Amino acid sequence: MPMNIDADLPYSDIDETLGERLWPNEPALAGEIARAIEGFLRTKYQPGHARRDAHPKAHGIVKAEFRVSADIPDELAKGVFAARKSYEAWIRFSNGLLDDDRDGDGRGMAIKLLNVPGQKLVESEPNATTQDFILFSSPVFFIDKPQNYLALVTETGSANFWSKVSEAFTLGVKGSLIAAKLNSNIISNPLQTTYWSAVPYQLGIGSERQAVKYKVTPTSDVIDPLPADRGPDYLRAALGATLANGGATMTFRLQPRTLDTQSVEDSMNEWKEQDAPFYEVATIHIPSQTFDTPEQNQFAEDIAFSPWHALPEHRPLGVTNRLRKIIYEHVSRVRHEMNAVEYTEP
């Protein structure tokens, strides 16, 4: 029995000043995509065993400290960056779609800051004390129109999603090239990879607000060679080996929009670094730890990330993020309901 979507999930307003524009029929399309994904989950998984529709395979969820830099410029010191302090965080590293790490795939990094005061945008838990930043291994997303996303999910079903994604007639040539690049990504260690938000976010509120994108890079240039005898879970093993031996640091950067041609709506529009530099605003310290326990792996399954688990100072922008407001909330509710998990933000 599909869950009701519309009752308690209002569609997002748009900010025309920052360049947002609504697509025709967009809220209805968001609901249709969410319902289509719900259908796949209910068909594919037995109750008690539902996984995420995207990024189902975690390499691990790890404890981290998100240390906001002391010397960031005032115009970037907004939201969680205003206090110039440290936050405890959970970080879930994942594949895009596949269960075998040896295959080319997008790679995800979902960060959840804890003990962040202030009312949040998500209506279901406005008093949650979390702030999420969701990134993956491409500077751009491969879909710009809501009807193309719906066409992909309804024509193919999740099982064939990625093979369909590389077909030019559904995504257009540009989208297909982005998808092909993303899906051929092979890495040796989730801590030695660069991640982007791909889509933009507001920074600040009121007349000083601006649009930014995010990027996380490893602090060290060292990239381990691919293990010769790697198995389907070698990325979990690599994460475990690094975190057994002294931990890792990564750098979180903001990229303020500098040109009108840098679109807030078009998820395929890359904001070139030569036009819009990134500024370092935080260091992510991931200490030495043991994360690969049954309890923590279950936590990696149950936890839910959303761009809308956010302060108004970090409001998600653009059509992809507006769709995600409905889709992530609905799909994670379905997942938790199927698994009889009563989820609340940590």
Q: Is 338 in the site for ligand HEM (CB under 6 A)?
A: no
Would you list the DSSP string of 8-45?
T-PPPP--GGGT--PPTTHHHHHHHHHHHHHHHHHHHS
Find the binder of ligand HEM among 81, 162, 252, 305 (CB under 6 A): 305
By beta carbon distance, the residue nearest ligand HEM is: 108
The answer to whether 141 contacts ligand HEM (rule: CB under 6 A) is yes
Closest distance between ligand HEM and the C-beta of residue 5, in Å? 13
Residues 74-113 that bind ligand HEM (CB under 6 A): 92, 94, 108, 110
Question: Pattern of binders to ligand HEM over 198-237, x per CB under 6 A?
Answer: xx--------------------------------------
What backbone torsions phi and psi does residue 10 show, to the nearest 5 degrees?
-65, 145
Q: Where are the alpha helices (DSSP H) in the chain?
A: 26-44, 146-156, 161-165, 168-183, 234-244, 294-302, 318-338
How far is residue 97's CA from residue 95's CA, in Å, rounded to a whole number?
A: 6
Residue among 234 and 305 whose Cβ is closer to ligand HEM: 305
Q: Which amino acid is at 214?
A: Y
Q: How far is the CB of 14 from ligand HEM (least distance, A)?
A: 16
# binding residues, ligand HEM (CB under 6 A): 28
Residue 18 — left, alpha, or beta (φ > 0 → left; ψ -120 to 50 → alpha)? alpha
Q: Is residue 281 a contact residue for ligand HEM (CB under 6 A)?
A: no
Distance of CA 173 to the CA centre of its chain: 24
Q: What is the binding site for ligand HEM (CB under 6 A)?
A: 33, 37, 52-55, 92, 94, 108, 110, 134-136, 141, 149, 197-199, 304-305, 320, 323-324, 327-328, 331-332, 335
